[in-house]
Amino acid sequence: MNIKPFSQKSLLIYGIIGAVLFIGIYLVFGFITPGFDVLRDTISSLELVKNGWVQQINFIAFGIFTLLFTIGLANELVRGINGRLILIFQSLIAIGLIGDGIFIHDPMHMACDLVTFNSVIVVLVLFTRQFYLSAGWRGWILYSILSAVLMMIFLFAFGVANAHHGLAGLYERLAVLPRTVWSILLIVNLLNGKKLGVVGASPAY
């Protein structure tokens, strides 16, 4: 059994705390905001309502939690180019989320959105290589690919719905779920002692 120090467990748990808080806050805030339609209005539009600072802080906090999780993830990955790329794109996710909280208007907000969602998909794809290098994770290769495909399908539906005043809010929220569930399951496995390869190994790819 791989016993992790408390500091490492804390860094990994931040990934769960951040995701759960982020979803919980925007769901509750959207529900109690007069005139806000959770099925049609986007998560980001909560920044433009009365007390929109709540969603701004929500984005920034999620970005900080994501960054802390990324530090913990660095201690778990198989060393090599692939692992470094995962950490780079994980950091871009955090930066994009923080940017979403700071820049509430386009084009900067849209740019941050694109950085965040595209980086999430790239991380899922890059992780297929990590799972290939790690014993006991092979089933996660297909799971990661399916999660990325689901995200892209929902994001495409979101784009179409947003352009035609459809159920954009619903599709955006559905697009968030595959990676959220994937991340929580990954973190639970790591907390339970499952290892992503041998720490310190240096593959040439």
Q: How far apart are CA 1 and CA 58, in angstroms?
A: 36
**Alpha-carbon span 141 to 69, nearest angstrom:** 21
| Dist CA 196 CA 187 (whole Å) | 11
Of residues 140, 116, 111, 120, the one with CA closest to residue 128: 140
Q: What is the pLDDT of residue 126?
A: 96
pLDDT in tens, the chain (205 residues): 567 889 999 999 999 999 999 999 999 999 999 999 999 999 999 999 999 999 999 999 999 999 999 999 999 998 889 999 999 999 999 999 999 999 999 999 999 999 999 999 999 999 999 999 888 899 999 999 999 999 999 999 999 999 999 999 999 999 999 999 999 999 999 999 888 865 434 443 4
The predicted pLDDT at position 78 comes to: 81
pLDDT for 5 equals 87
How far, CA to CA in Å, does 35 sit from each of 18, 28, 38, 73, 162?
27, 14, 10, 40, 18
The DSSP secondary structure of 12-68, one letter per residue, reads HHHHHHHHHHHHHHHHHHHHHSTT--TTTS-SGGGGGSTTTHHHHHHHHHHHHHHHH
- What is the reported pTM? 0.91
| Torsion sign over Cα 22, 89, 161, 170 | negative
How is the chain split among helix, strand and coil, in percent rounded to 5? 75, 0, 25
**What does the pLDDT read at residue 205?**
41
